[in-house]
Chain A
Amino acid sequence: MGHQMSWKRILVDGQERIQLEGSISEHTDFRSLIEVASDSLALDLAHVDQINSCGVREWINFVNALRELGKNLEMHRCSPAIVRQLNMISNFRGDGKVQSVLAPYFCDACDNEMTQIVDLAGIESPPEIAETLPCPNCGEDMEFDDLVDSYLGFLGR
């Protein structure tokens, strides 16, 4: 089981973000995050590796609470686990703005796994996701490890 969620402050291009790490589950308490948010909250979600159904419930309550308090939410570097929920649960992001996601790649030749950032800030239409990338490990092609047509499907809603 992925370890329970923790968070820390990071600085990216002069912007303070809160980086979450671990699993979002029934044990996740978002109250401290709501407290640190002033008028807005920028989350880095690259290291959220799992969310179970109880975690979805906690997360929805969290984004709903931010909305009620009038606090803006920015979601940066959403991990594949977060993107999966964005596609499965129509109101997962609440009023949050998804600024970027991580696209997963898998190398069939050497089992290497990695992610590539896809920027979504200010875009008009969903960007193209590269189907393949050279594997930094063995030089073979790595394949995009999800469905190209639907990975960014949540943007259309």
Chain B
Amino acid sequence: MNVDMDTIVKKPEAAPVLGASGIVFVNGSANQLPNLPRVLRRVVGKVELRGSMAEVRDSNSSELVAVNFDSLTAKERDGLIRDFAFGPGRPTLLLLSEGHARDYLSRLFANHTLTNMLVVNNRNVDICDFLVTIRKILKQDIFGLEKYFVWGTKTHRLLLTSSTQRGDVLDTIEAYCHDLNIPRRLRNLVVSVADEFVTNALYNAPVDEQGGPRHASLPRTEEVTLAEGEVIEVKLCCDGWRFGIATSDPFGTLTPELLLDYLAKCFTKEDYQPDESKGGAGLGFYHIFESLSHFIVNIAPGKRTELIGLLDVSGSYRTFAQAGKSFNLFTGE
């Protein structure tokens, strides 16, 4: 073995992720997440602390602005929604919230401001999810369910090419959850998310050679089969604490704008009006969002869309329902 003496004694880089640009962290005056700045400095490098949103406007150098949403006043929250869309080149916003962002989701989605939100639990964020999120914001390898689980967690893979296989896939997922002794109400959530994921991949995602929708206008009772070489991959993963499910399609047709508009519309809580001309994808995404602890969408335009769902199965349905929600939307290659 060749030993490089420089490597043996060289001090590791102390700003390992974001480097010189660092992260701007708005933690409000109450400093509700007291340990987070110190932890962030160790893992992302430079952290510029700000006490209010007004101070963020001067921070054009940073690629990423993390905001403790719960620490903001109502006026600051309104200001964030109104002003944060600085236009092209604005930093990516990462909201941290224990659940108080919920009443603002419709407006945050509507102006396309909210693409990253991580839940705060016990005055801290899950540092693994935080690091994965930052890496992916920097467009480093956005795909893969495995990123959200520790090494050693087994991933199971199912493939389908036709709507006739959907029932079998959902039955398999339900049986797997049953074997894992996941309580019935949580099991129902996993299966309903799988149902929406697979339906989306089979009916909404496929496009023809001109980029036009292939199956989107068909009733979901109509059988559809993908073309030769096209496969939808379903992955399942459980580390005992959380259950992960992902579907990946080879089309990459979902756009961030469309997804955010769908979600914005559903969170306005207006009466739902069934639209016979559309497949109802918007309601499907609302169902998915509400049925998960963490919903992640990865898009390589024209190439691939991956939907990832993580569900807290550590306790009962109530444990899941009490916690806030995380959401991420990434585009990359």
Contact = CB atoms under 8 A, between A and B. Distances in A.
Interface of A: 1-2, 25-27, 49-50, 52-54, 56-57, 60-61, 80-81, 88-92, 104, 106, 108, 111, 113, 143-147
10 contacts: A25-B195, A49-B188, A52-B196, A53-B284, A57-B283, A60-B272, A88-B287, A90-B271, A113-B183, A143-B316
Interface in B85-124: none
Nearest to B272: A89
Nearest to B290: A88
A118 B183 CA distance: 22
A146 B321 contact: yes
A147 B174 CA distance: 25
A90 B318 contact: no
Interface in B289-333: 290, 315-318, 321-322
Interface string B180-193: 01011100100110
B138 to A, nearest CB: 33
Q: Is the interface of B mostly helix, strand, loop or mixed?
A: helix
Contacts, number: 82
A143 B318 contact: yes
Interface of B: 167, 170-171, 174, 181, 183-185, 188, 191-192, 195-196, 199, 219-221, 269-272, 274, 280, 283-284, 286-287, 290, 315-318, 321-322
Contacts of A106: 183, 185, 316-318
A147 B287 contact: no
B128 to A, nearest CB: 26
B321 A52 contact: no
Contact of B318 (A50, A53, A57, A147): A147
A147 B192 contact: no
A1 B274 contact: no
A50 B317 CA distance: 15
Nearest to A147: B321
Contacts of B220: 26, 54
B286 A57 contact: no
Contact of B272 (A2, A90, A104): A90
B183 A91 contact: no
Given A90-B270, A106-B316, A147-B322, A53 B286 contact: yes
Contact of B191 (A50, A53, A56): A50
A112 to B, nearest CB: 10
A61 B317 contact: no
Contacts of A49: 188
A28 to B, nearest CB: 10
A56 B283 contact: yes
B58 to A, nearest CB: 40
Nearest to A91: B271
Given A1-B170, A111-B181, A52 B269 contact: no
A143 B321 CA distance: 13
Given A1-B191, A53-B196, A145-B317, 19 more contacts: A1-B174, A2-B191, A27-B221, A49-B188, A52-B195, A52-B284, A53-B280, A54-B280, A56-B283, A57-B283, A90-B270, A90-B271, A91-B272, A106-B183, A106-B318, A111-B183, A143-B316, A146-B317, A146-B321
A59 B96 CA distance: 36
Q: Most chain-B Cβ atoms within 10 A of its Cβ — which of A60, A80, A145? A: A145
Contacts of A27: 221
A1 B280 contact: no
Nearest to A84: B290
B167 A1 contact: yes
B199 A54 contact: yes
A113 B167 CA distance: 26
A45 to B, nearest CB: 15
A81 B192 CA distance: 11
Contacts of A104: 185, 317
A56 B279 CA distance: 12
Contacts of A143: 316, 318
A56 B283 CA distance: 9
A52 B287 contact: yes
Nearest to A54: B220
A145 B316 contact: yes
Nearest to A27: B221
B171 to A, nearest CB: 6
